[in-house]
Amino acid sequence: MSSLSYPTPLYAHAGRGRFEDVYEPAEDSFLFIDALERDADELQGLSPSVCLEVGSGSGVVSAFLASVVGSSAFYLCTDVNSLAANCTATTATCNNVALQPVITDLVGGSGIEAAWAGGRRGREVIDRFLPMVTQLLSDQGLFYLVTIVENCPEEIIRLLGEGGLTAGPCLSRRAHNERLSVLRFHRTPPSTAVAS
């Protein structure tokens, strides 16, 4: 665990004024930030060149990651909502970090070192994104996913396991009547056969 403590990014503009319809950071965002802070030393050691957030909303999670990892990485933040992309850009400015918001549905590309996605309304978006994870994630990459119990996290772990990803330690917390979890995945190392 990192010995440093990183400040929560500024986000007072999210969910207010012209960004009234943009999801304001809540328990799921803060649990995610806690998971990233817990992994700060490892994330810095990976020295990622590309980080991706799918469904960036306010951009607070990417802004936090950028404060942990630093300016050597390219932070791609996708959202289908143009207001969310603008809010992410404002969050970047408020926190003096460089985020690249893109208005798109999910994502395209490859070689991603860190990626994450949420899904508060069931599995529709998650199920569309999961097949892309194994194509996008670099060999050293980490993939984080925020889930609730209704998303069936055990099934997600099994599905990604079939795609060659291993679930690592996760964080969980009860928020009101939901049980939130941040799942963490990495590529399964090739098995080394022992000669007999």
Q: What DSSP designation does 168 have? A: -
3 occurs within a structural domain: no
- Cα–Cα distance, 148 to 170 (Å, whole number): 13
Mean pLDDT of the chain: 85
pLDDT tens-digit profile of 84-114?
999 999 999 999 999 999 988 766 443 344 4
Task: Note whether residue 159 is domain-resident.
Answer: yes
Q: Give just the sign of the alpha carbon dihedral 65, 69, 70, 75.
A: negative
Q: Which of 119, 113, 147, 149 is nearest to 133 (CA)?
A: 113
Please check whether residue 12 lies inside any domain of the structure: no
First CA to last CA distance, the chain: 39
Range of lowest pLDDT (44-48, 62-66, 103-107, 176-180): 103-107
Question: Which amino acid type is present at position 37?
Answer: E
CATH number, domain containing residue 68: 3.40.50.150
Task: Identify the band that residue 116 occupies on the pLDDT scale cut at 50, 70 and 90.
Answer: low
Distance CA 118, CA 31 (A): 12
35-44, 45-54, 119-128, 165-174: the lowest-pLDDT one: 119-128
> Looking at residues 38-66, what average pLDDT do you find?
94
Q: Residue 152 is part of which domain span? A: 17-187
Q: Is residue 195 part of a domain?
A: no
The pLDDT tens digits of the residues spanning 13-37 come to: 998 999 998 988 989 899 999 999 9
Two structure tokens written together for 127? 């199920």
Domain count, the chain: 1
Q: Of 27, 89, 94, 96, nearest to 56 (Cα)?
A: 89
What pLDDT is attached to residue 192?
Answer: 39
Q: What is the pTM of this model?
A: 0.86
Going through the chain in order, the beta strands assigned E by DSSP cover 50-54, 74-79, 99-103, 112-117, 137-148, 165-167, 171-175, 178-187
